[in-house]
Structure 1
């Protein structure tokens, strides 16, 4: 793996430094090699010790961190303090968003179709990473999105095909037209070139707060190619598209490694559900030596494994499928010889259309305990499961609208992105029982 090669290079630098009296560290960074998260077989390491973590998703960090009308740095600090108190060690955040014609996309974005990028929002990302460093947290930063809520691949395609696009959940374009259309990204060199330009700008950026290059910052655990990249929605499109999909993963990961040899790179894949339910596709998507670890996401409600309107009767059947899904991905990670992270998992509150923080979280808490028990058991067995990131942290935000829908211009950012009901899956600062489950797991891993 690339991470092992980086360790060898770092070790050679250490020896040379000792011989000349120069300070030891990763060449050119002034940072000890052990501060970067690295891969050692099935496991992560940091500071010379195994690195396992309870994590969260906080996609909107850069927006809060921006010194602008849409930012709120004081709230960002409060939210990070709350997460730190829970024992959260890693945050998965988005480092890209495209100014988009798509109905449910967030504004502002990091970029439009040209080569000028939103410096205010990039400085918001700078600020977020600097605040994470103060709390000794690490970040996984994803650099694109398969879905529409941040613009994503559909927007890149619209920039090179004379403005053509379709909206997700448009009745005129029923499922799986959206993912099938999006799959054209992997064989479109012009769209990919636009993304590569942006990747280069971010990965080689110097943080305006700390003065440290992103490529030299151990606060970043990993770069992620995209949020939930898929080869398509239907077999008819996805299967012939697989060579393009695999090539995009491998070449993009290698491109990032060439820009930044110190950080891990991974896909952002959902696992089987994002791989047309085929184990060989999951394995092939993570087999590149430039992909350091495997990811999976778990969404029982979205996948109709349970009925949100009748959780008491359907929870157990869904839980059995969750257990099998985790076990399958642990087996695949062992087969690959790489670590595994459950980097998204979400569950609704008690009842259908239950978005208000006053509604109980009985079954949500049970689901969290199941995920965490699986991680703890696999860690005890020496397996590849190294961490998890719940979806997602709402914190002190509350929906501004009676229908719990996001309206462009809303500043009460939640873990639920703009295309989803606000409060659907996120954890509020008032969710004491869910937080107790998170805290207990973080304590168990720390022990």
Structure 2
């Protein structure tokens, strides 16, 4: 081949490479934002299909196990999943992120964020837990008790200044950390789609929702004082409280100390979330009754998000457990497909960004199984349902992006 021709081809190839590189970096550099009741990315509508894998940082703390994190991100990306919700907390206990108040081992979280970025997956990072799994509220209160602070219950997490100080220190530490792998501070990283204040807040001492509302106001303002770029949400299941008594008819027969309306009215909260586990909440009722509840639950929250709160919504946890009587892969696929159909319909009408199925695992993670686990490589029919939803949400996003 003549030199001049080789040079010309080489130049073209180099141009294509740099154009491709520029496109990839510009894609990665955008931060997901909200505009009214819609998510946007680079001024265009942003819709997604996503998943939960809460365990990622715990697994990444063991270098010999990190390939499982990589596997799930890779398989998820192949299935068109572009958002992952996972824990950015692990307080005390085994492989802890926060070993004791203010004492950290953060490299595992760095790995999770870098692997997400490699696979084009954005993260919703939860900063604490309502439950004692991986520490959460009980660990914070126990740390205070061990330090001689007078606390009476886990609900002091929301009100005691010492415990709130522990939480704020954690927020500050995570948001300002510079990732040792990427060199980017978390508060500047476009891989992060949003921060979540706490997974499934509940408060037994005040079922009205007012105690949680006060805590959300304080902590949302604090998060935004450190990081005003990223989106922020509470982490709610969606239970209604006392502010609009009529809405309590949509609850599964009880309250948990949150108020979907007042908790999300806080201006620093950018979007709403709901979770739903009718197989637990309505245990003993048949599939038809549970699905009827799901439709009411989704519709009421979608409507309130659009009309009262004027914020977009994410259905951030749902699934069907293999531990339920009469479970089959077919029934799970049908259930997930029904949820996806509702999400798609709401997205087409406007006001919801997408859904996050609970939960994806890698092969060889049986000990993390909770009945809801899905291993994409081992569940081809479920994987097909998930991939189809990803394609439909992407197609709808493109359609909405056209002038």
Aligned to 1:153: 137
5+ residue gaps, structure 2: 1-24, 242-250, 396-403
Query: Does the Cα contact within 8 Å between 2:51 and 2:358 map onto a contact in 1?
Result: yes
Name the SS of the counterpart of 2:275 in structure 1.
strand
1:444/1:112 Cα in 2 relative to 1: closer, same or farther (>3 Å)? same
Partner residue of 1:326 out of 298, 306, 311: 298
* 5+ residue gaps, structure 1: 1-29, 101-106, 165-179, 308-313, 355-359, 400-405, 407-413, 415-421
User: 5 Å matches for 1:9-408?
Assistant: 35-66=30-61, 68=62, 71-100=64-93, 107-118=94-105, 122-162=106-146, 181-232=153-204, 237-239=205-207, 242-272=209-239, 277=255, 281-306=259-284, 314-334=286-306, 335-349=308-322, 351-352=324-325, 360-382=328-350, 384-399=351-366, 406=367
Aligned-pair CA distance for 1:161: 2.1
* Cross-structure match for 2:373: 426
Shift of the 346–141 alpha-carbon distance from structure 1 to 2, 3 Å rule, reads same
Which consecutive aligned stretches of 4+ in structure 1 deviate over 3 angstroms post-superposition? 30-34, 273-280, 350-354
Question: What do the CA deviations read for 1:226-254 (whole angstroms, capped 9, x no partner)?
Answer: 1001232xxxx2246x4332111011111
Are the equivalent residues in 2 in contact too, given 1:61–1:93 (CA < 8 A)? yes
Instruction: Please tell me the root mean square deviation across aligned C-alpha atoms, in Å.
Output: 2.5
Residues 265-314 of structure 1 show CA distances to partners (whole Å, capped at 9, x for unaligned) of 1000000179854999211000111100000001011102555xxxxxx1
Q: CA deviation at 1:124?
A: 1.4
SS of corresponding position for 2:49: strand
Instruction: Give the C-alpha shift of residue 114 in structure 1.
Output: 3.2
Tell me, yes or no, if the aligned pair for 2:193 and 2:230 is still in contact at 8 Å. yes
Paired residues of 1:350 and 1:361 also in contact (CA < 8 A): no
**Post-superposition offset of 1:351:** 4.7
Contact 1:34 1:47 in 2 (8 A): no
Structure 2 CA distance, aligned partners of 1:397 and 1:436? 21
Tell me if the contact between 2:113 and 2:191 (Cα under 8 Å) persists in the aligned partners: yes
Give the 3-state SS of the residue equivalent to 1:148 in structure 2. Answer: coil
Change over 3 Å in CA distance of 1:279–1:203 after alignment to 2:
closer
SS of aligned partner of 2:98:
coil
Contact 1:305/1:317 (8 A) holds in 2: no
Counterpart CA distance in 1 for 2:87 and 2:323 is 29
- Measure, in 1, the Cα distance between the counterparts of 2:71 and 2:99: 31
Normalising by the residue count of structure 1, what TM-score does the alignment of the two structures yield? 0.74
Residue 64 of structure 1 deviates from its aligned partner by 3.0
Tell me, in whole angstroms, the C-alpha distance in 1 between the residues paired with 2:79 and 2:50.
Answer: 10
CA contact (8 A) 2:203 2:256 kept: no
Q: TM-score, normalised by structure 2?
A: 0.82
Q: Distance in 1 between matches of 2:257 and 2:200?
A: 16
Per residue, is there more helix in 1 or in 2?
2
Distance 1:97-1:49 versus aligned 2 partners, 3 A rule: same
Change (3 A) 1:433 1:181: farther
How far is the alpha carbon of 1:73 from its aligned partner?
A: 2.3
Q: In the aligned structure 1, how far is the partner of 2:32 from the partner of 2:277?
A: 27
Shift of 1:205: 0.5
Q: How many residues align?
A: 355
Describe the SS at the equivalent of 1:223.
strand
Question: Which structure is larger by alpha-carbon Rg, 1 or 2?
Answer: 2
